[in-house]
């Protein structure tokens, strides 16, 4: 197996995730795209861990999984709160802080 095949797969997933963050209006869909981005980072970390033969990359990947779980929890609570106040979770409508 080549190192680059995993890194390029991670790059593809990362770019698809970035496209999703830019293009999507629904806040839940944006959170899903962020999950794609975090997964591509994990793929890179584990590929480099196999290259170096140490377990540091595995530790980082586990930490990223934990941070992603926390992020989704808080993010969905925020989305729920926005929905309760505005009956709508379209990100374009959240422009109260626009100058």
Partner 1 sequence: MVAQNIFFAIFAVIMVVGALRVVTSNNVVHAALWLVTVLAGAAGQYILLSAEFVAVTQVLVYIGAVMVLFLFGTMLTRARLGEETDLNNKTWILGIPVALLLFGTMSYALIDSFGDEKLPEDATVVSTQVISDQIFGPYLIPFWALSFVLLAATIGAIVLARKD
Question: Interface residues with partner 1 (CB under 8 A)?
Answer: 1-9, 11-20, 22-26, 28-29, 31-33, 35-36, 39, 42-43, 46-47, 49-51, 53, 55-56, 58-59, 61-63, 65-74, 76-81, 83-84, 89-92
User: Cα 78 to the chain's mean position, in Å?
Assistant: 16
Q: In the bound complex, what is the minimum distance in angstroms from residue 4's beta carbon to partner 1?
A: 5
Cβ-contact 43, 51 below 8 angstroms = no
- Cβ distance to partner 1 smaller for residue 87 or 99: 87
- Cβ distance to partner 1 smaller for residue 69 or 97: 69
Q: What is the rounded CA–CA span in Å between residue 15 and residue 95?
A: 26
Q: In the bound complex, what is the minimum distance in angstroms from residue 26's beta carbon to partner 1?
A: 5
Q: In the bound complex, what is the minimum distance in angstroms from residue 69's beta carbon to partner 1?
A: 6
Burial of 9 (0-12, 13-18, 19+ CB in 10 A): middle
Reference 3, options 70, 39, 66, 48; nearest CA is 48
């Amino acid at each position: 197996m080549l190192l680059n095949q995993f890194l390029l797969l991670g790059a593809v997933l990362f770019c698809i995730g970035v496209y999703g963050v830019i293009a999507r209006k629904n806040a839940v869909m944006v959170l899903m795209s962020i999950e794609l981005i975090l997964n591509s980072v994990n793929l890179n970390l584990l590929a480099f861990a196999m290259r170096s033969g140490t377990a540091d990359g595995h530790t980082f990947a586990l930490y990223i999984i934990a941070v992603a779980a926390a992020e989704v929890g808080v993010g969905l609570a925020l989305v729920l709160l926005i929905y309760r106040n505005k009956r709508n979770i379209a990100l374009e409508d959240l422009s109260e802080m626009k100058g």
